A and B are shown apart, each in its own frame.
Chain A
Amino acid sequence: MIRLEKRPSPSRFWATATPILAVIATMIAGGIMFALLGKDPLEAIRTIFWDPLFHETFGPYSRPQLLVKAGPLILIAIGLSLGFRAGIWNIGAEGQYIVGAICGAGVGLAFYPTDSVLLFPAMVLAGALGGWAWAMIPGLLKVKFGTNEILVSLMLVYVAESMLASASQGLLRNPEGMGFPGSRNFKEFPAGHNAEIFTNSGMHWGVVAAFIAVIFAYILLTRHMLGFQVRLTGEAPRAAKFAGVKPARLILFSLGVSGALAGMAGMFEVTGPAGQVSIDFNSGYGFTAIIVAFLGRLNPIGILLAGLLMALTYIGGELAQLMLGLPGAAIQMFQGMLLFFLLAMDVLSNYRVRWLRKEVTS
């Protein structure tokens, strides 16, 4: 007979150990899945986790991609983690990401073909504001009317996708693009291009922003009153109320920050790696970032590591698609599995497992 006993506070040891265990369990379960798909499981796991970094021929190509993919994931996940800690569930980061990209790219394209150095900062700002405004919709509705932010933020993803379709075929379409959908390519517009800072490193301004966000989030959560309130609301909502935490302020703050960061991530992506506003430039980072936030235990440093790991599965997945003919969807399932194992193992950090002999019953 197994019994679970609630720990007075979550175990620090297990909080660190569970993500690692979850990754191992995912590799085992993933290996079984790959075997069922008729692939050699060991080879598949090696192709996903090892080859992108250390393979002689692929390594040099895929290593820079690690930062390219991890940047937006970390940037979005940092924002989401603040809300998730306080029990505010913004799951529409994908929408904020798209709107940020449209706004940021829109400002850039409006000033085409300027070469002012001020343009790029203005685009970053516009991207952040766009994401922020999109996140304020569920935020204000929640504060004013108590509307469920989960559903509203998610619905707005579909609205944003329609807006993206409209923008890439209408408003932002390249006037010299012979009628094809999609905006001008930012690679041919240096003032608005989010170029690599060091050649072949994958390091662009979005990655820099992600690192800065990690540092700021760390300081906010450990040193600042607002960060304390976020943590308090998540861990002890009643105590937070007595301590005078204003829920409305916290909701607007955490949704606003996560929206702005997601919007910035979208803007960096569309003007850098993606290159242009097109109907499908967004690749689901807003949703994968949810997994990253949880895998990183909603902790800034953890999110940094989780973002890199998740980026690795993206690149490894592409490589496995190419080398082993593994379906692309397998990697999406792989990521979902990781979140499941993590949530399942969370029980170890919050509860103590006791083995009991059968109790005597009268």
Chain B
Amino acid sequence: MNLDQINPILLIASLMVAATPILLAAIGETVVEKAGVLNLGVEGMMITGAVVGFAIGVNSGSPALGFVGAAIAGAALSMLFGVLVLYLLSNQVATGLGLTLFGLGLSALIGKPYEGMKVPTLAKWDIPLLSDIPVLGPILFQHDPMVYVSIGLIMAVWYVLKSTRAGLILRAVGENHDAAHALGYKVIRVRLMAIAFGGACAGLGGAYISLVRVPQWVEGMTAGAGWIALAIVVFASWRPWRVLLGAYLFGGITVLQLNLQAAGVPIPVEYLSMSPYVITILVLVLISTRGKHGAPGSLGRIFHASH
């Protein structure tokens, strides 16, 4: 065992990388849930984004194009969910589960020829001057662009939800869809757009795993990241900045357990690798003891306008 190998600066820097996929998926899902829709298909959209991003990255040689394709694929898949839930009024829990199962199958099918291939990955930015700051430089200013995109998305979602008319309408639709409908807001259209945004974010998150974090295609490689993203939305009480906090906490645990594994701590590997999930459960319990405040009022309910 050699704990001195663990470098706190590197640990924090890699924590941000480990957290980014979950962060992207979770901020998308926050918007979806704020609009009153519970999409349990995050895992399915993430893995589809992962495989599509990887395939495009390999074929085009451009990871940036891979990310664009992954976002489109995630959004397209989410539209399947959207049509079922919003127009055909199906149960959101069941449909979301179906989306996950479907996405896992679809991704395995697309990904088969790409197993074991290499992909060009995103170059790290070395922001001049800032990256030379001791300690803070390596932690904050030497990442690939997607890390900054994810933080930018948090900021944008926070601003739109809090301070714009569009955000107000979205929240109204999520809090009480009947009242929002009576006021003349287009409940279905708002929700459809929110779902597409959530799908695109999940796709980006998945692509980050296959293009940057790993970077390889392995069947089922998201390994529950989509579900953890869903848990983080609950943990964050549907608030964007807390999503950031939750994702980074989770990323920290993941990176720490990997580092402990590498350092040869005398705890069996299996216990270390289950720890992120166990800790997520513990955190969920802690959050739920405080009651349900923060959940949008119409979350998970079917909207059917009789007039």
Q: Are A151 and B304 in contact (CB under 8 A)?
A: no
Is A201 positioned at the interface, with any CB of B under 8 Å from its CB? no
Given contacts A332-B104, A339-B102, contact A350 B89 (CB under 8 A): yes
Given A141-B284, A340-B84, 6 more pairs with CB closer than 8 A: A146-B291, A151-B284, A156-B277, A329-B108, A340-B95, A343-B84
Q: Which of A75-103 contact B (CB under 8 A)?
A: 84, 89, 91
State in angstroms the CA–CA spacing of A340 and B88 once bound together: 11
A120 to chain B, nearest CB (A): 29
For the complex of A and B, the 10 pairs showing the least CB-CB separation, nearest first, are A336-B102, A329-B108, A333-B105, A332-B105, A166-B270, A162-B274, A343-B90, A339-B98, A147-B288, A329-B109
Q: Are B227 and A155 in contact (CB under 8 A)?
A: yes
Q: Which of B32-87 contact A (CB under 8 A)?
A: 40, 80, 84
State in angstroms the CA–CA spacing of A151 and B234 once bound together: 10
Q: Which of B259-293 contact A (CB under 8 A)?
A: 268, 270-271, 273-274, 277-278, 280-281, 284-285, 288-289, 291-292
Which residues of the other chain, A, contact B281 by a CB distance below 8 angstroms? Answer: 137, 141, 147, 151-152, 155-156
Cβ contacts A307-350/B at 8 Å (1 or 0 each):
00000000000000000000111111111110110011011001
Which residues of the other chain, B, contact A329 by a CB distance below 8 angstroms? Answer: 105-109, 112, 219
Q: Taking CB as reference atom, which chain B residue is nearest A37?
A: B109
Is B223 positioned at the interface, with any CB of A under 8 Å from its CB? yes
6 residue pairs of the A-B complex, CB under 8 angstroms, read: A151-B230, A155-B227, A162-B271, A332-B104, A339-B94, A339-B101
Interface size, B (range): 35 or more
State in angstroms the CA–CA spacing of A344 and B277 once bound together: 33
Cβ contacts A139-153/B at 8 Å (1 or 0 each):
001000111101110
B278 to chain A, nearest CB (A): 6
Which residues of the other chain, B, contact A6 by a CB distance below 8 angstroms? Answer: 304, 306
Which residues of the other chain, B, contact A145 by a CB distance below 8 angstroms? Answer: 285, 288-289
Is B93 positioned at the interface, with any CB of A under 8 Å from its CB? yes
Is A159 positioned at the interface, with any CB of B under 8 Å from its CB? yes
A308 to chain B, nearest CB (A): 19
The residues of B with any CB-CB pair to A shorter than 8 Å are 40, 80, 84, 88-91, 93-95, 97-99, 101-109, 112, 219, 223-224, 227-228, 230-231, 234, 268, 270-271, 273-274, 277-278, 280-281, 284-285, 288-289, 291-292, 304, 306
Is A154 positioned at the interface, with any CB of B under 8 Å from its CB? yes
State in angstroms the CA–CA spacing of A203 and B90 once bound together: 37
Total interface residues on A, CB under 8 Å, equals 48
Q: Taking CB as reference atom, which chain B residue is nearest A161?
A: B274
Interface residue stretch chosen among A40-48, A127-135, A286-294: A286-294
Q: Are A159 and B274 in contact (CB under 8 A)?
A: yes
Given contacts A145-B285, A155-B224, contact A336 B98 (CB under 8 A): yes
Given contacts A151-B231, A163-B274, contact A332 B108 (CB under 8 A): yes
Partner of B93, one of A89, A335, A344, A350: A89
Q: Taking CB as reference atom, which chain B residue is nearest A333?
A: B105
Is A125 positioned at the interface, with any CB of B under 8 Å from its CB? no
Q: Are B89 and A351 in contact (CB under 8 A)?
A: yes
Q: Taking CB as reference atom, which chain B residue is nearest A328?
A: B108
Q: Are B94 and A343 in contact (CB under 8 A)?
A: yes
Q: Are A158 and B105 in contact (CB under 8 A)?
A: no
Is A4 positioned at the interface, with any CB of B under 8 Å from its CB? yes
B274 to chain A, nearest CB (A): 4
Which residues of the other chain, B, contact A165 by a CB distance below 8 angstroms? Answer: 270
Partner of A346, one of B90, B107, B271: B90
State in angstroms the CA–CA spacing of A163 and B89 once bound together: 39
Q: Taking CB as reference atom, which chain B residue is nearest A165?
A: B270
Which residues of the other chain, B, contact A343 by a CB distance below 8 angstroms? Answer: 84, 88, 90-91, 94-95, 98
Is A175 positioned at the interface, with any CB of B under 8 Å from its CB? no
Given contacts A147-B288, A344-B88, A346-B88, contact A158 B274 (CB under 8 A): yes
B26 to chain A, nearest CB (A): 13
Given contacts A343-B88, A343-B90, contact A170 B280 (CB under 8 A): no
State in angstroms the CA–CA spacing of A169 and B231 once bound together: 31
A164 to chain B, nearest CB (A): 9
State in angstroms the CA–CA spacing of A252 and B278 once bound together: 21
State in angstroms the CA–CA spacing of A356 and B91 once bound together: 26
Which residues of the other chain, A, contact B40 by a CB distance below 8 angstroms? Answer: 150
Which residues of the other chain, B, contact A91 by a CB distance below 8 angstroms? Answer: 97
Which residues of the other chain, A, contact B228 by a CB distance below 8 angstroms? Answer: 155
State in angstroms the CA–CA spacing of A328 and B112 once bound together: 10
Q: Are A152 and B284 in contact (CB under 8 A)?
A: yes
Q: Taking CB as reference atom, which chain B residue is nearest A137?
A: B281
Which residues of the other chain, A, contact B230 by a CB distance below 8 angstroms? Answer: 151
Partner of A340, one of B80, B223, B284, B306: B80
State in angstroms the CA–CA spacing of A152 and B101 once bound together: 18
A305 to chain B, nearest CB (A): 19
Q: Are B273 and A290 in contact (CB under 8 A)?
A: no
Q: Are B112 and A150 in contact (CB under 8 A)?
A: no
B225 to chain A, nearest CB (A): 11
Q: Are A163 and B270 in contact (CB under 8 A)?
A: yes
Q: Are B89 and A4 in contact (CB under 8 A)?
A: yes
A299 to chain B, nearest CB (A): 15
B223 to chain A, nearest CB (A): 7
A88 to chain B, nearest CB (A): 11
Which residues of the other chain, A, contact B231 by a CB distance below 8 angstroms? Answer: 151, 155
Which residues of the other chain, A, contact B101 by a CB distance below 8 angstroms? Answer: 287, 290-291, 332, 335-336, 339
